[in-house]
A and B are shown apart, each in its own frame.
Chain A
């Protein structure tokens, strides 16, 4: 690890990166008692999920509540929702560029880290849903046989992995450069940021096409599915980031969250109403048309033939979403963000139901042959779901902690050159020098 000044520049970069990873590891495992408690709890939950998954693979997916009638359940519901979170985390910065809101630029980094954690969760949920995870390599172009461009799932594999790589590049580059005390070069991150923003729209659109392209499933076979997905992603992304920014501001006082939070709240105020409008437009078409086209909506909202497992879910979602929208509209003088935070949590959970269980399960009930077989997730499915979420939060915590350390200067390369004219994430705002 000792690198003399005579080493080539290339070599220096590599060992510098090694030091960065080593320091990141140190930073990720150091903290207050609350930090340890948080990380320990997340690790424990992730381990419970891993154990449940291992026994699901060994014993077969009969341990889930799924059946040939409802062949996708909680995993794909969470997958769908989290694709939205991954997309929303980056799409929400579009207004920043449209309206030259410079304070928002630093939020790009926070959003892209959320995108990384979210895409990894998505991939884990897909793996959890596979009957034969040992054959995942069949999906790799080259050794496998990739059904591209016909299969929408093949498209989804491409866009999700591409999105992961894009965001990893931007986040790692910006934080590493900052760690080294060097000014990031715009051409190494700015094009990727813009591609990532457009790409974010694609991941949720492709995921919507996965369902809306199936002619045998009227509940999904609707042209506004992709717009609905984008609208709700514009709710969950900002909701998550608003809360994250406050936590970061509390832990790392040099980061000013007020401006970005105001902007994100303005975005949410519009998108939450847009999302509700699209829900109503869909429901109107289903119910007013009637016939068997509305069977799934009937089952979802009111129950059919004595089967009503989803009714409490969807009404909970509606109440949460409407309440969140009302709070955002009414509580405008909310300097402590108390009401804003409540609205964010309500909207986040509301969309999790509406774009999760409320969207996937009615696609299967009634079945294509009009049978009504219900679906209730089993304990195994809940354990794996909680485990994946815990792992995702763990990753996100580590990323935010390392980034915060680097940006406050607490974590800096011991061998860094004397920095002149330091730049922040996107080169917009000057951050203070390391305090100690």
Chain B
């Protein structure tokens, strides 16, 4: 050490220390990259087009067609099914309403099952937008009811109340969404842009009817079970990590057909139609029957009504 001045010696120590620091930093960066490695399996499924895709309401026709074709191709690649994804717009002069006759519903849950298949729900969780509550005669107390009953129906002394999205006219789920990924369409149906939703689930917290579902994992459906007639805003297979909801089967109802849950109902409890058409059955029910609105006190103005026979 005799031939180094104190100054040089000091500089050498600093260099060594800096080298150790740099090495540690490198190790840290490596460990971080290693920790983040699972992200690559997630991002490889996201194309640049998908990442940069604009909000549904900002897409022009040409862009929208490109998006629909891309989604069809993705469905083919990931699920092995040839599907047609359309974009069905609301019809002017139509406001949809839905009513359900509590006097005749037997709680068979065929509506829920029809929804499950029509809307390409995850098979593993047996998801559906409709849940049927079994309640005791003389009470509408849900805390005494059961949604997972497992016995023959109808049971004596019980009645049944299917609950799905009420398509509120003043939807709290739409208000709370920070990115406008969900909105009310001109015909009153509340929809979600599954490619815009960030998955914060604030809407799930805001909905008083438990109408919204989150895709906690990527939906699993065998190719042969996929309903190939799909639309962008309704029953196309949803991506992982986004919220979904009942759309009154807009891919059917906007083309003049009835919701799948109504078609499946064996008791004729369900009545669907245009609230603006004075001759529609839904208008007849609302004008002549005793009607009950669930949680009416919240002031959300639902388009879903329960009614009773005389």
CB within 8 Å of B: which residues of A?
29-30, 43, 47-48, 50-51, 54-55, 57-62, 64, 66-69, 71-72, 126, 129-136, 138-139, 144-147, 150-154, 157, 210, 214-217, 292, 295, 363-364, 366-371
Contacts and interface: CB of A to CB of B under 8 A. Distances in A.
Contacts of B180: 145-147
Contacts of A67: 216
B304 to A, nearest CB: 14
Given A51-B35, A55-B38, A131-B214, A368 B209 contact: yes
B108 to A, nearest CB: 20
Contacts of B218: 60
A147 B205 contact: no
B38 A60 contact: no
11 contacts: A51-B34, A58-B38, A60-B217, A132-B199, A138-B179, A150-B175, A150-B176, A151-B176, A153-B177, A364-B205, A367-B210
A145 B214 contact: no
Give the one of B43, B145, B240 with max A CB within 10 A: B240
A356 B148 CA distance: 30
Contacts of A216: 172, 206-209, 295, 298
B213 A68 contact: yes
Contact of B198 (A29, A135, A366, A369): A135
Contacts of B204: 68, 71
Nearest to B127: A68
Nearest to B40: A58
B196 interface: yes
B256 to A, nearest CB: 32
A29 B21 contact: yes
Interface string B27-61: 01001101111110111001000010001001000
Give the one of B42, B58, B198, B240 with max A CB within 10 A: B198
Contacts of A146: 178-180
B181 interface: yes
A58 B210 contact: no
Contact of A54 (B36, B212, B295): B36
Give the one of B133, B175, B241 with max A CB within 10 A: B241
Contact of A153 (B143, B202, B207): B202
Given A150-B175, A366-B143, A370-B145, A61 B216 contact: yes
A157 B202 CA distance: 14
A133 B147 CA distance: 33
Nearest to B202: A153
Give the one of A66, A134, A144, A366 with max B CB within 10 A: A134
B178 A47 contact: no
Given A54-B35, A132-B242, A147-B178, A369 B201 contact: no
A364 B179 CA distance: 23
B201 A72 contact: yes
B198 A131 contact: yes
Contacts of A69: 210
Nearest to A216: B208
Given A54-B35, A216-B172, A368-B207, 5 more contacts: A58-B39, A129-B200, A130-B241, A133-B198, A145-B58
Contacts of A50: 32, 35-36
A153 B178 CA distance: 6
B74 to A, nearest CB: 15
A62 B216 contact: yes
Interface string B216-227: 111000000000
A132 B198 contact: yes
A363 B163 CA distance: 21
Nearest to B31: A47
A59 B205 contact: no
A151 B241 contact: no
Contacts of A47: 28, 31-32, 35
A295 B144 CA distance: 12
Nearest to A147: B180
B58 to A, nearest CB: 8
B253 interface: no
B175 A54 contact: no
B142 interface: yes
B240 A60 contact: yes
A59 B201 CA distance: 18
B179 A132 contact: no
A58 B21 CA distance: 32
Contacts of A292: 141, 143
Given A129-B200, A150-B175, A57 B42 contact: yes
Contacts of A210: 202
B210 A68 contact: yes
A152 B178 CA distance: 8
A313 B241 CA distance: 29
Nearest to B14: A26
A147 B182 CA distance: 10
B197 interface: yes
A363 B31 contact: no
B95 interface: no
B208 A215 contact: yes
Nearest to B299: A215
A361 to B, nearest CB: 12
A157 B133 contact: no
B35 A214 contact: no
A397 B175 CA distance: 40
Nearest to B195: A135
B41 A217 contact: no
